[in-house]
Amino acid sequence: MPKLKYGIYSGYARDAVELLGQLISKYTFELHNSAYPPPRILHILLLLLTLCIPAGASFAEDTPAGPVCSGLTGSGCWQEIANLPGCQVWNPSPEEEETFTWSGGCVGGRPSGPGQLTWSYKRDGQSKTSTSEGPYIDGKRHGHWVMRGSSGRVDEGPYVDGKAQGHWVVRYASGRVREGTYVDGKEHGHWVERDADGNVFGGLYVDGKRHGHWVEDIYGEVHEGPYVDDNRHGHWVERDADGTVSEGLYVNGWQHGHWVIRHADGNVSGGLFIDGWQHGHWVLRYADGRVEEGPYVRDKRDGHWVIRHADGRVGEGPYVDGKRHGHWVFRYASGNVYEGPYVDGERVASGWKRH
């Protein structure tokens, strides 16, 4: 049976088609032999068709321009609306056990005009319900929309042909607010994010990922540098609330390469990070003239270290897992030498000697 443009098999249309079938069967013979001229019979058929089919309806075969949802997840598809059988809405991201209801009209088998869409689904084993309000054109969102999620999140902005396009504002129940531009359904361009604690993040998105220069103000700590494909990547400067300034390289989201850390008290340290860990050779220079130099292994001193003081004293020996452990030697400007063992960071008094 053909479909009406309203998108459902109308009872009027069904009656009309069935009646027309009966009349055609009945009058097939009479069209050739009836005393009535054929135009009279045709006039009767047209009159019955006009009475049976509501104004504005016409027959059409609607084929979805894309896949029909059938337990699919992760890719867009056309999904039938639960309260409007035969009316299909474009679902860009199907969820588990998802159903839709629509309060507006349906034209050509697609939601059309303003209304409220309610959808229910399962995520992580929990049932959720969300609503959105705005206009559809040919089954796809088009125009200004407000979407309210089950978590209290509210997204507001324009759609064009089913994709977010233009300036959007996203508000969370926690007080966090994000705003910026969408292009073809993806965050693209400058975005600013503010949370309830006053922290501010601002920078560029490209195709839905942070990409380009960002400034992040987190509880008084200001971090600044580039993102690439949603990861910190390149030269960053991090200014902490206590006056400490750290700068160096990130690679794929991890500190990696040479870093310099300057403290407000004048102490300066520099050395290597590997995959986010202090790992490799470091030199620590203190405001009092002391210099400590040696290797780190995964954020802990490990290996042979040398410590030089401004008064000429020099100490050297091994660290193990962040603690002095093993034989140490201390040489003084006077020529005296002290040496002996440390165990787990503690000096073993009985093993020391002076010469």
Based on the domain organization, do 95 and 51 belong to the same domain? no
Segment 297-310 shows an average pLDDT of: 98
Q: Per the domain annotation, does 101 fall within a domain?
A: yes
Based on the domain organization, do 37 and 69 belong to the same domain? no
Domain of residue 301, CATH code:
2.20.110.10
Based on the domain organization, do 35 and 80 belong to the same domain? no
* Torsion of the alpha carbons at 279, 295, 297 and 271, rounded to the nearest 10: -20
Lowest mean pLDDT among 30-34, 71-75, 118-122: 30-34
Segment 119-134 shows an average pLDDT of: 91
Q: According to the model, what pLDDT value does residue 185 have?
A: 95
Based on the domain organization, do 83 and 212 belong to the same domain? no
Domain boundary among 113, 140, 167: 140
Based on the domain organization, do 25 and 89 belong to the same domain? no
Q: What residue numbers bound the domain in which 20 lies?
A: 7-60
For residue 36, give the 3-state DSSP assignment.
Answer: coil
Based on the domain organization, do 234 and 212 belong to the same domain? yes
Q: Per the domain annotation, does 14 fall within a domain?
A: yes
Average pLDDT of the chain to the nearest whole number: 86
Segment 265-275 shows an average pLDDT of: 98
Q: Per the domain annotation, does 259 fall within a domain?
A: yes
Based on the domain organization, do 46 and 12 belong to the same domain? yes
Give pTM, 2 decimals.
0.76
Q: Per the domain annotation, does 294 fall within a domain?
A: yes
CB 115 within 8 A of CB 103: yes
Confidence of residue 66 (pLDDT cuts 50, 70, 90): confident
| Residue listed under structure tokens 């999904």 | 79
pLDDT at 16 > cutoff 50: no
Q: From 91, 88, 90, 93, select the one nearest 73 (Cα to Cα).
A: 93
Q: Per the domain annotation, does 1 fall within a domain?
A: no
Q: Per the domain annotation, does 209 fall within a domain?
A: yes
Q: Per the domain annotation, does 216 fall within a domain?
A: yes
Q: Which residues of 158-192 are buried (b: 16+ CB within 10 A; e: fewer)?
A: bbbebbbbeebebbbeeeeebbbbbbebebbeebe
Q: According to the model, what pLDDT value does residue 27 have?
A: 47
Per-residue pLDDT of 231-254, as tens digits, reads 999 999 999 999 999 999 999 999
* Torsion of the alpha carbons at 111, 114, 118 and 119, rounded to the nearest 10: 40
Q: From 217, 156, 165, select the one nearest 186 (Cα to Cα).
A: 165
Domain boundary among 116, 140, 164: 140
Q: According to the model, what pLDDT value does residue 210 have?
A: 98
Q: According to the model, what pLDDT value does residue 333 have?
A: 93
pLDDT at 72 > cutoff 80: no
CA diameter of the chain:
141
For the record, the structure tokens of 82 come out as 């639960």
Confidence of residue 151 (pLDDT cuts 50, 70, 90): very high
pLDDT at 341 > cutoff 90: yes
CA 92 to chain centre: 15
Based on the domain organization, do 114 and 210 belong to the same domain? no
Q: From 227, 267, 228, 274, select the one nearest 245 (Cα to Cα).
A: 267
Domain boundary among 140, 174, 204: 140
Q: According to the model, what pLDDT value does residue 95 have?
A: 84
Report CA-CA distances (Å) from 327 to 191, 315, 345, 350.
56, 11, 11, 13
Number of H helices, E strands in the chain: 3, 33
Based on the domain organization, do 175 and 285 belong to the same domain? yes
Confidence of residue 38 (pLDDT cuts 50, 70, 90): low
pLDDT at 343 > cutoff 60: yes
Segment 186-202 shows an average pLDDT of: 97
For the record, the structure tokens of 26 come out as 């009945």
Axis crossing angle, helix 38-52 with helix 11-27, rounded to the nearest 10: 160
Q: Per the domain annotation, does 207 fall within a domain?
A: yes
> Which of residues 6 and 37 earns the better pLDDT score?
37
Based on the domain organization, do 273 and 125 belong to the same domain? no
Based on the domain organization, do 80 and 26 belong to the same domain? no
For residue 43, give the 3-state DSSP assignment.
Answer: helix
- 351: DSSP letter: G
Query: What percentage of the chain carries pLDDT values higher than 90?
Result: 74
For the record, the structure tokens of 117 come out as 């869409």
Segment 186-210 shows an average pLDDT of: 97
Based on the domain organization, do 44 and 107 belong to the same domain? no
> Domain tally for the chain?
3
Segment 77-101 shows an average pLDDT of: 92
